C-alpha cells in the first residue's frame, strides 16, 4: 500500500526531548537498539513542540514525551514500559 507523506508522518513515533536529558538519551538508546523508527524533536529548539509537551503534560515540560502512532502518550517511561508499548 502506498502511503502519503501525511500518513507516513502519523505512522511515525514522535519523541520530544532535550539535549541535556538523561532519560531522553536512555529512551533513544532503547528505541535504537530495538530498531524502532522515531522522529526526535528537541523542545528547546522548537517553541511549537514545547507548547505541545506543555499541553500533553498538564503544563509541565516533561521529557521524554512520546506520541505513539496509535495515539497513546508515554511520559518518562521506564525501559520496560517503553519496550512493552512498542512491542519489542
- 11, part of any domain: no
CATH number at residue 37: 3.40.30.10
Out of 1-5, 11-15, 42-46, give the one with best mean pLDDT: 42-46
The structural domain count of the chain equals 1
66: in domain: yes
Asked if residue 61 is part of any domain, the answer here is yes
Domain membership of residue 41 as a residue range = 21-85
The answer to whether the CB of 32 falls within 8 A of the CB of 41 is no
- Helices (H) then strands (E): counts for the chain: 4, 4
**Strand (E) positions, the chain?**
13-17, 38-42, 65-67, 73-75
Residue 6 maps to a domain? no
Q: Is the model's pLDDT at 18 over the cut of 90? A: yes
> Could you read off the pLDDT of 33-65 as tens digits, one per residue?
999 999 999 999 999 999 999 999 999 999 999
pLDDT at 5: 38
- pLDDT at residue number 86: 87
Amino acid at each position: 500500500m502506498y502511503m502519503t507523506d501525511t500518513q507516513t508522518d502519523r505512522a511515525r513515533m514522535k519523541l520530544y526531548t532535550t539535549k541535556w536529558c538523561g532519560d531522553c538519551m536512555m529512551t533513544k538508546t532503547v528505541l535504537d537498539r530495538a530498531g524502532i523508527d522515531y522522529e526526535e524533536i528537541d523542545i528547546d529548539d522548537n517553541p511549537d513542540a514545547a507548547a505541545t509537551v506543555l499541553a500533553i503534560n498538564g503544563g509541565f515540560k516533561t521529557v521524554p514525551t512520546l506520541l505513539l502512532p496509535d495515539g497513546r502518550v508515554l511520559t518518562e517511561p521506564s525501559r520496560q514500559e517503553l519496550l512493552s508499548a512498542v512491542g519489542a
